[in-house]
Amino acid sequence: MDVGKKRRLKRILEQDGKTVIVPMDHGVTLGPISGLINMQELINKLALGKTDAILLHKGIAESIDTYRMGLIIHLNASTVLSPDSQWKIPICSVEQAIRLGADCVSIHVNIGTEKENQMLNYLGAVSDRCAIYGVPLLAMIYPRGSYIKDHNSSKNGDFDTDLIKHAARIGSELGADLVKTNYTGSVDTFREVTKACLTPVVIAGGPKMGTSEDLLRMVYDSIQAGGAGVAIGRNIFQHKNPRAMVSAITAIVHNDASVKDGLKILGEV
C-alpha cells in the first residue's frame, strides 16, 4: 500500500485496526430526516463522543468543521423517489473529494440488482482512481433486488450468510480498503464473513433498532466475530443522546467494553 494511503487510512482506523464511522449521507436518499437538520450541532456531539470518522456528501462537507475526525466523502447516490432507487449514480469524483480534504472516499454497490454490472464497473474505476491518488476506499456492499429475495434462505429476517460473504468478498477483490455490509445475525456466521473478506469489515446499522441493548449487542457480537468496527448512522444520530450513544459504541469497539458497560454510559441500567 502506498504511503499516502497508509497515512490517510490511519485517520480512519485507530491503532487497534478498528473504527467507529457515522454515515450522514441519508439526506440525499431520504431527505432531511430527524437527526440531520442542524449538521454542525450533530457533528459537534459526535466529536465529543470520540467518533473516529464521519461520512458526508460534498455539499455538507464544504460547510462544516470536522474537527479531528476522519472525513469520508460519499461518491454516488439515489433517492427513494426514483423508480430505480437501487441504482446509485456518481455524484462526486475522487479528485473533488481530495480538494475537500477527504481522508477516504466511499461508494455504495447493490449486488443482485439489474444495474449490478454498472455499479461493479464503477467500483473498479473508483478503486483505480484511489490507487493513483493514494486515497482509501470504503465500499458499502449489500445484497439487494429481486434475485436476492428469491435466493435468501435465512428464516429469521437476516441475510443468508453466503450472500453477505459474497458481497464482502467482492469489495476486497475489486480493491476496497474497507468493506461495509450487513450483520448476519450471529457471531459464528459473521465470523465466516470476516474470514472470507481480505480487508477489514464494518457493519451497517440499518433502520432504527428497537432498543439500545439490541444495537449494542450487535456491535459487541460483530467485534467478537473479527469485525473492524461499525458504520452506523440512524441508530446514532436519531438517538435522544447521540454523543452518549457513540461513546458507548466506541467503548465496545476500542476498549473491550461489554454491552452492560455501554448501557451504563447511556444511563440505561
Name the residue ranges covered by the structural domains of the chain.
3-264
The model's pLDDT over 21-69, given as tens digits with 9 standing for 90+, comes to 999 999 999 999 999 999 999 999 999 999 999 999 999 999 999 988 9
Catalytic choice (18, 52, 122, 142)? 142
Q: In CATH, which of 3.30.565.10, 3.20.20.70, 3.90.480.20, 3.40.50.300 is domain 3-264?
A: 3.20.20.70
Confirm whether 122 is a catalytic residue: no
Question: Which of 10, 68, 64, 55 has its CA nearest to residue 28?
Answer: 55
Per the annotation, the verdict on 188 as an active-site residue is: no
Q: Which of these is catalytic: 180, 183, 220, 221?
A: 180
Would the pLDDT of 154 be above 60?
no
| Predicted local distance difference test score (pLDDT) of residue 166 | 94
Spatial CB neighbours of 84, under 8 Å, sequence gap ≥ 6: 78, 114, 115
142 is a catalytic site residue: yes
Q: What is the pLDDT of residues 203-260, one digit of tens each?
A: 999 878 889 999 999 999 999 999 999 999 999 999 999 999 999 999 999 999 999 9
